[in-house]
Structure 1
Amino acid sequence: MANAAIHCAGAPLLAKALAMSKLNELMARGTELLGSDYAILCGAMSWVSERHLVSAISNAGGFGVIACGAMTPELLDAEIAATRTLTKRGFGVNLITMHPQLFDLIAVCTSHGVGHVVLAGGLPPKGSLEAIKASGAKVICFTPTLALGKKLVRSGVDALVIEGMEAGGHIGPVSTSVLAQEILPELAGEVPIFVAGGIGRGEAIAGYLEMGASGVQLGTRFVCATESIAHPAFKKAFIRASARDAIASVQIDPRLPVIPVRALKNAGTEAFTAKQREVANLLDAGTVDMPAAQLEIEHYWAGALRRAVIDGDVENGSLMAGQSVGMVTGEESVAEIIASLARQAEAALQTRG
């Protein structure tokens, strides 16, 4: 009887150990690619994913990613150097493919020996993948469709990110769960794939890993980290919000191929609608051409986001947030967030046997 009691007492510990082992096994391709403890990428959020948050995520065992956004090569150079002073762990840099100085930015990453470059915003321009890989860095690309994913794999990318419409910021039209079902069975055997969009708890992470993903990317969940430099008013807006408050912007003129942006509804949301009308009128008057019109829209978002994140103007600025914002209930350290996600994922795997 005593031996049986000891055996029963040890069973939960054994089950937990097996769950931890299973989580490590499911993330193995992702952690090997990133050189991290957990295959959890930090979403590249302009003004938020900077040196402090990026280094904190890498130090906690995840993988931080600097959001280059509209930075000049000089600014990116300084940001990478500053991040290096805060962490000895690896981190990546997210570059926008439409940036006019993309190749200069790639050269900056190369000069710093950045090991991972994440390309977002469309099909990488000719020569960009080769320029990154020539430095020895790994290339991770976003794909909104299976067809583009196959093309990127043939092009030699090292990993893919599939991001659903539940995410914050610029979004596509398809949900995370549908993209995962379409793409993971086809391409997960080819390259590591990270799933993003609407992920706020470890149970979801476990589910996507079991479907074949090698890891995940989270952005919204880290906005209210204590290490995040986001303004207290910005964080408070996130903590108060529910999933239904994060809405997608509306395109009012078919001539302007505006990529929808998911953000918390406020006066800034209405201002964007007015901005679209203003730019459409400029097009009608022949004052600007289409590329200039699109650039005008992007400049609006960059400025509006800075007003909210840095200045704390949560009424008129842009509160870009994913639908997982409802799961952000308070300010926690990055280490606490990652540990909580891991515990939840392990518990889910333990429950599933």
Structure 2
Amino acid sequence: MTHTHLAAAMQRGTEFLGSRYAIMGGAMSWVSERNLVSAISNAGGFGMIACGAMEPHMLEEEIAETAKRTDRPFGVNLITMHPALTELIDVCAKANVSHIALAGGLPPKGSIDAIKGKGAKLICFAPALSLAKKLVRSGVDALVVEGMEAGGHIGPVSTTVLAQEILPEITDVPIFVAGGIGRGRAIAAFLEMGAAGVQLGTRFVCAHESIAHEKFKKAFIRASARDAVTSVQLDSRLPVIPVRALKNKASEEFAAKQRDVANQLDTGSVEMMEAQLQIEHYWAGALRRAVIDGDVESGSVMAGQSVGMVKGEAPLADIMAELCDEAETSLAP
């Protein structure tokens, strides 16, 4: 199928990304690596490497290996709280990475200038209109509006509400909508609302090219939307951002981890930043156990609510074609 109407609706997004489709791959730690990222880009989308807790030399290798697998554009997602953020930005600059996304909070002082000053386009996440306006004033080049239906770390507001709130108010920069998107018809709807494109993660996890463990993929295929639940914050002092994942033993273990860290705060054995990093390291380790080792019981099976629309494994190109065909059909008069 030709995608004439989709191409017109996505023009601003595709011009910004340099890809055929303005469909960004969500940055999923351990999943969004060289194989899946390159497959997304080769299928016409825009793959994003999830740097996560990688050290600079690891990111350097990941970028190089991804570039060996695709000649299409791709980007890198960096976590704002990473202690080596400056070095990671330098790695991206040396590798001529065209787009960098900063996730996990407001960009630290100097990071925006460091990224843009080295020629990359900067994408940031805006979970509220006030923050979106602040980020635009700060000079970011594009925004991702991600609702609570997404997998992994989430905010408190749904995708549809955020889109309605932010899209009409912010026109200076391209906006990509994310969270719970599993069908091309939804992509078409957000484009018609004014989005430049979308970001999807959960729908791509079970692509043939994804290195996620077979048990991890099977958990996705079996799950329904209501199985993807959010973690609970036990102590208001802990800067715990809710995480959406399939319910399992890891949920209970996370509660125990929070109690342990809270006790450390009580005794003064850790500072608040260290406490936050401990929580982040917990998720990184739990997610690796599930994605790489296939421990879907005590590992974290992070998934968005669109997981119910994942019906089986398929080549990434087929998933992308299905999404784009559905969107084209919806957009055509």
TM-score (norm 2): 0.98
Residue pairs, 1:169-248, within 5 angstroms: 169-187=152-170, 189-248=171-230
Unaligned segments of structure 2, at least 5 residues? none
Partner of 1:344: 326
Amino acid at match of 1:106: I
Q: Secondary structure at the match of 2:53?
A: coil
1:133 equivalent in alignment to 2:116 = yes
Cα distance in 2, alignment partners of residues 152 and 114 from structure 1:
21
1:11 corresponds in structure 2 to none
Matched with 2:26 is 43
1:154 pairs, out of 114, 120, 137, with 137
Query: Number of residue pairs matched?
Result: 333
Partner of 1:314 in structure 2? 296
* 1:91 is aligned to 2:74: yes
Q: Could you give the per-residue CA deviations for residues 131-189 of structure 1, whole angstroms, max 9, x where no partner exists?
A: 111121111111111111111111111110000000000000000000000000001x2
Q: Does 1:261 align with 2:237?
A: no
CA distance in 2, matches of 1:104, 1:69: 14
CA distance in 2, matches of 1:139, 1:284: 39
Distance 2:200 2:323 in 1: 11
Deviation at 1:292, TM superposition (A): 1.7
Structure 2 letter corresponding to 1:266: N
1:73: which partner in 2? 56
Which residue among 281, 284, 301 is the counterpart of 1:302?
Answer: 284
Query: What residue is the counterpart of 1:284 in the other structure?
Result: 266
Provide the rounded CA distance (Å) in 2 between the counterparts of 1:236 and 1:86: 26
Shift in Å, 1:36: 0.4
In 2, the alpha carbon distance for the partners of 1:72 and 1:90 equals: 23
SS at match of 1:46: coil
| 2:11 maps to 1:25 | no
CA deviations 1:206-262 (Å, max 9, x no partner) are 000000000000000000000000000000000000000000000011111200000
Amino acid of the structure 2 residue aligned with 1:301: W
Secondary structure in 2 matching 1:125: coil
Counterpart Cα distance in 2 of 1:61 and 1:347? 18
Alpha-carbon shift at residue 338 of structure 1 (Å): 0.5
2:158 maps to a residue whose letter is S
What TM-score does the superposition give when structure 1 sets the normalisation length?
0.93
Three-state SS of the structure 2 residue aligned to 1:44 is coil
Q: CA deviation at 1:38?
A: 0.3
- Superposition deviation, residue 281 in structure 1: 1.7
5 Å-filtered alignment, 1:109-124, equals 109-124=92-107
Which amino acid letter does the alignment assign opposite residue 330 of structure 1? Answer: G
- 1:271 matched to 2:271? The reply is no
Q: CA deviation at 1:288?
A: 2.0
Deviation at 1:335, TM superposition (A): 0.2
SS in 2 for 1:85: helix
Q: Structure 2: which amino acid aligns with 1:30?
A: G
Distance 2:108 2:278 in 1: 22
User: Alignment partner of 2:122: what SS?
Assistant: strand
What percent identity do the matched residue pairs reach? 73
What displacement does 1:279 show? Answer: 1.3
1:82 aligns with 2:65: yes
SS of residue in 2 equivalent to 1:311: coil
Distance in 2 between residues matched to 1:116 and 1:52, nearest whole Å: 18
Paired with 2:92 and 2:152, the residues of 1 have a C-alpha distance of 24
Displacement after TM superposition at 1:21 (Å): 2.0
Partner Cα separation in structure 2 for residue 285 and residue 124 of structure 1: 31
Structure (1 or 2) with the larger CA radius of gyration: 1
Q: Which runs of 5+ in 1 are unaligned?
A: 1-15
Aligned counterpart, 2:316: 334
User: SS in structure 2 opposite 1:80?
Assistant: helix
